[in-house]
Amino acid sequence: MAVINMSKNQKVSMSKDDGSSIKKVFIGTNWDMNRYAGEADIDFDIHGFLTNGDRKCTYPTDLVNYNTFTPSAYPWLEFSGDNRTGDDGMGMMFNGKHFDEYFIVDTSKFPADKSEFNICLTIYRAVQRLQNFGMVSNARMTIADYDNPTGTSWEFDLSEDEKFENLNAVELGRLYKYGDGFKFQALGSGYVGGMTELFKNFGFDIDEGRD
């Protein structure tokens, strides 16, 4: 198995070693809560935004997260659901590693009227709870061929960015159509205003409220 470490803005083709397209793309996230992170659990959430490159989305059809997902509405996608604490009892094991939250994208069923799927990570009510990514360690995203877990995988280590520890929302990357297949681009674009600021970039005005 080859593991390729991705750098910010790097693009990789979602293709197998023989050059054929990967049908099911696994996109998983995992993290460890630091020992001295405080009493409150840190609730990471993965979100997916469907766009045509214009960053304009319609609620709820173009947003996939713990609040909107139902299997019947997204037949091209498998979603882990909400892991509120990073508990290993939730999520899934994939190629010997535990992933707290994940998407599995069936590219053969990807919506014909959309060109890309933006994957983002937030901390639930981070602003209200005074939480940021500095309270976790080993935060990373893994992209792989779901049908061939021992093949090539790509990892994007978020902690390598010195600014990461001050953020509480980040655009991890985007899966987008390219020719007859797909590519993935690592982004690592961060925000300090939590979900509210992130969602503004996709046309949503939200208020997380208070605990």
Mean pLDDT by 10 residues, the chain (211 residues): 88 91 94 65 87 92 92 93 55 85 96 96 86 84 94 87 84 95 94 90 76 46
Q: Are 26 and 178 in contact (CB under 8 A)?
A: no
Token pair for 127: 């602003």
The predicted pLDDT at position 211 comes to 46
Q: Are 166 and 114 in contact (CB under 8 A)?
A: no
The predicted pLDDT at position 117 comes to 98
The predicted pLDDT at position 40 comes to 65
The predicted pLDDT at position 89 comes to 53
Token pair for 152: 């090539």
Token pair for 180: 């007859």
| Residues 74, 176, 170: CA angle, nearest 5 degrees | 85
The predicted pLDDT at position 170 comes to 93
Please state the length of the chain. Answer: 211
Q: Are 53 and 115 in contact (CB under 8 A)?
A: yes
**In a 3-state reduction of DSSP, which class is residue 71?**
coil
Task: Enter the pTM of the model.
Answer: 0.90
69: left (phi over 0), alpha (psi -120 to 50) or beta: beta
The predicted pLDDT at position 83 comes to 56
The predicted pLDDT at position 138 comes to 82
Collect all residues with Cβ–Cβ distance below 8 Å to 170 and sequence separation of at least 6. Answer: 120, 121, 122, 133, 158, 164, 188, 189, 190, 191, 198
